[in-house]
Amino acid sequence: MGRWLLRRTAQAIATLVLTIVLLFFLSHVLPGDPLSRLGEGRPLTAAETETLRARYGLDRPLRSQLGSFLAGLARGDLGTSIEYGRPVSALIAERLPATLLLGGTVLLLNFTVGLWLGVRQAVRRGSAEDRWLTTLSLVGYATPSFWLGLVLAWLVGVEWRLLPAAGMRDPLVDGGILAGTADVLRHLVLPALTLSVVSIAGTMRYQRDAMLDTLRLPYIVTARAKGLSPARVTWRHAWRNALFPVLTLFGLWLPVLVTGSVFVESVFAWPGLGSLAAAAVGNRDYPLLMGASVLVAVIVVLANLLTDLAYATLDPRVRLT
Amino acid sequence: MTRVLDVRDLSVSFPAADGRRFHPVDGVSLTLDRGETLALVGESGCGKSLTSLALLRLVPAPGRVDAGSVIRLGDTDVLALKGEALRRIRGRRIGMIFQDPMTSLNPVFTAGDQIAEGIRAHFRVSKSEARARALRLLEEVGIPDPEERLDAYPHQLSGGMRQRVMIAIALAAEPEILVADEPTTALDVTVQAQILEVLDRLRRSRGMAVLLITHDLGIVAGRADRVAVMYAGQIVEEAGTAELFAHPSHPYTQGLFASVPRITGPLRRLTPIRGTVPPPTEWPSGCRFRPRCPQAFDKSVLAPELMPVGPGHRMRCWLAEEPAAQVELSRRSG
């Protein structure tokens, strides 16, 4: 186990380095230049442009730029944002908590409600409940998040005034931690719900199919013939095995939830990473863009490592050598 | 002899596409006494496995046991049981062994876990006590190094070893009946004999009744006390094993014997039964074996009942009524 983890971690690091190098070149292949926007009010003179290019190192060959980026990365320094003029790490650190809160909530809902509904459907296959949930999950899966977000924000937030439709904190709410937390949670409901609908719908379908496949297997008959209770057969014998395909889904969802919520973030003015990264692409803000990309790459690699680890822990047939 | 199982007119039906129901098991009656082995023989698709699943009410949905069927375990009316009462007889009154030990064991739990689970489903014992009993069961089914095998996962065991674990699971709650559904079909020939040996030994030492389901007449001789031959959802012939082997009477049974190679006796050509078992939706009226039967005659268009042909020997064939045909029949088979 120790050796396997060591080797797998080394692999993960190699993947990460390769991805970062690739991302670096890809971001610089984009047409356009970070400085082209700085002169929007008044055209920059050639001398001014030269000074700025030298300041951000844009005058040096790409390979040497990569070298200093990697050197900085090794020290934990992601450079300075061209657009904001502040350290990239500080910008990301500001936005990260909001993203983690939203993504974490959605992930939690997804892997509790989604799994539970999927298992329930499989156990009651063919019932009215199963058919209804199937219809609902297809509708949910087909609903675009940004549209659902807009509808919810308008209906629940604006028309009914039940929940705040934008932001993460109400500046007028002050007082203790309790009031502050309650305020954040109220703001969290709509964006989390919007993102959860699609992801829960997907997980449900996946879990239902995986569960149906497992329930057909002979060892389920063995478990029932032993005289186990229906709940034990469902959860201990069937679900333990039907969890594996869904674990893969977890590995795929994790990065999407951290970054893929750009639309939902902008609909609800949620101060997360997605909107920051999207802006960085538009501005050709190379350091910020790379900072966000590195973060995503780390999360993707980590999510896969975690999935493999979960497989290895849960499935005795996966040999750790 | 104590009767431990009494099945009468057992029918299992499934809905067909056209809204009617078809009956893959159609009016099967059989009995088992304590310590006895009954072999249920037939080709695949004849309803043997479904019959055995019905005993524990494990017929897969949307199938169901039809009204009018009777399954009695001693004094227990199995078809009247629900929920917890039904759960309590599964494993406890009847233990089951299935055909393929590769897929019949849960891949994510150890052998010990899967045996102990069956023990704790029926007895209030501690985990360590259940584990100790599981260890004794592994010894009983003849697994070498049982201590180590207790913590082995199914994929770490050989086929024969897995089937022994299966048997240990079936024995976990000390049932009085063991149902073995093609227990050796998926195994090597050498391992087959060992597994059958284990089953025989357990039957004797525990005084269990065994229902041995097989398509292989070769493993029936010397192991079963009685044989019931099934075809197309019905029992077509039943007799004591010696009687059946000496005087196979139903054309289907004779066909089964003619298609089994023998080491002793004069050299002869194997004659397979022509055709295959039709699916339950296409069973003919009258005698169901009629389309494949070399001896079918005018009366075969009517459905025969089980009729006596000898001591404790009955068959579902009109030839039983025709003394002339019967003489002809015994002359040919003798």
pLDDT at B274: 83
Class of domain A95-314: mainly alpha
pLDDT at B317: 93
pLDDT, tens digit, 9 for 90 and up, residues B42-92: 888 889 999 999 999 999 988 999 999 999 999 999 999 999 999 999 999
Q: What is the mean pLDDT of chain B?
A: 90
Name the nearest CA neighbour of B28 among B47, B15, B56: B47
Q: Which residue is it, tokens 């024995």?
A: B171
pLDDT at B334: 43
**Does the interface ipTM go beyond 0.85?**
yes
SS3 A88: helix
**Is A32's pLDDT higher than 50?**
yes
- Lowest-confidence pick of A224-228, B42-46, B111-115, B234-238: B42-46
Neighbours of A176 (CB within 10 A): 8
pLDDT, tens digit, 9 for 90 and up, residues A194-243: 999 988 999 999 999 999 999 999 999 999 999 999 999 999 999 999 99
Q: Flag if B104 and A223 touch (Cβ within 8 Å).
A: no
Q: Contact at 8 Å (CB) between B316 and B234?
A: yes
Q: What is the 3-state secondary structure (H, E, C) of chain B?
A: CCEEEEEEEEEEEEECCCCCEEEEEEEEEEEEECCCEEEEECCCCCCHHHHHHHHCCCCCCCCEECCCCEEEECCEEHHHCCHHHHHHHECCCEEEECCCCCCCCCCCCCHHHHHHHHHHCCCCCCHHHHHHHHHHHHHHCCCCCHHHHCCCCHHHCCHHHHHHHHHHHHHCCCCCEEEEECCCCCCCHHHHHHHHHHHHHHHHHHCCEEEEEECCHHHCCCCCCEEEEEECCEEEEEEEHHHHHHCCCCHHHHHHHHCCCCCCCCCCCCCCCCCCCCCHHHCCCCCCCHHHCCCCCHHHHCCCCCEEEECCEEECCHHHHCHHHHHHHHHHHC
> For residue A314, which amino acid is it?
L
Residues from chain B contacting residue A315 (CB–CB below 8 Å): 107-108
Residues from chain B contacting residue A228 (CB–CB below 8 Å): 87, 117-118, 121
Domain boundaries, chain A: 2-75, 95-314
SS3 A246: helix
Q: Flag if A314 and B108 touch (Cβ within 8 Å).
A: yes
> For residue B329, which amino acid is it?
L
Closest partner residue to B107 among A221, A223, A317, by Cβ?
A317
Name the band, by pLDDT with cuts 50, 70 and 90, for residue B330: low
Q: Flag if B105 and A222 touch (Cβ within 8 Å).
A: yes
Beta bridge mates, B231: B234
Q: Flag if A225 and B173 touch (Cβ within 8 Å).
A: no
Kindly give, in sequence order, each residue whose CB lies less than 8 Å from that of residue A95, ignoring residues fewer than 6 positions away.
A271, A272, A273, A276
pLDDT at A319: 67
Name the nearest CA neighbour of B44 among B251, B265, B231, B283: B231
CA–CA distance from B151 to each of B108, B115, B280 (Å)?
A: 12, 11, 43
Domain boundaries, chain B: 3-224, 248-333
Mean pLDDT of A29-52: 74
pLDDT, tens digit, 9 for 90 and up, residues B126-169: 999 999 999 999 999 999 999 999 999 999 999 899 999 999 99
Measure the CA–CA gap between B322 and B67, rounded to whole angstroms.
34
**What's the pTM value of the predicted model, to 2 decimals?**
0.84
Tokens of A102: 């939203």
Question: Pairing state of beta strands B21-33 and B3-15?
Answer: antiparallel
Task: Give B328 to chain A, closest Cα distance, Å.
Answer: 46
Mean pLDDT of A136-143: 92
pLDDT at B179: 96
pLDDT at A272: 87
Mean pLDDT of A88-102: 90
E-strand stretches of A43-176: none
Tokens of B303: 């459905």
Classify domain B3-224 by CATH number: 3.40.50.300
Residue in chain B lying closest to A214 (CA): B106
pLDDT at A321: 54
More confident residue, A19 or A60: A19
Question: B221-248 b/e with 16+ CB inside 10 Å = b?
Answer: eebbbbbbbbbbbbbbbbbbbebbbebb
CA–CA distance from A69 to each of A21, A125, A188, B168 (Å)?
A: 10, 55, 36, 63
Q: Flag if A316 and B117 touch (Cβ within 8 Å).
A: no
Residue in chain A lying closest to B165 (CA): A222
pLDDT, tens digit, 9 for 90 and up, residues A162-206: 888 888 888 777 767 888 888 889 999 999 999 999 889 999 999
Residues from chain B contacting residue A310 (CB–CB below 8 Å): none
SS3 A80: strand
Chain B contact for A127 (CB, 8 A cutoff)? no
The burial class, CB within 10 Å (0-12 / 13-18 / 19+), for B170 is buried
Name the band, by pLDDT with cuts 50, 70 and 90, for residue A264: confident
Name the band, by pLDDT with cuts 50, 70 and 90, for residue B332: low
Residue in chain A lying closest to B97 (CA): A222
Residues from chain B contacting residue A130 (CB–CB below 8 Å): none
Q: What is the mean pLDDT of chain A?
A: 87
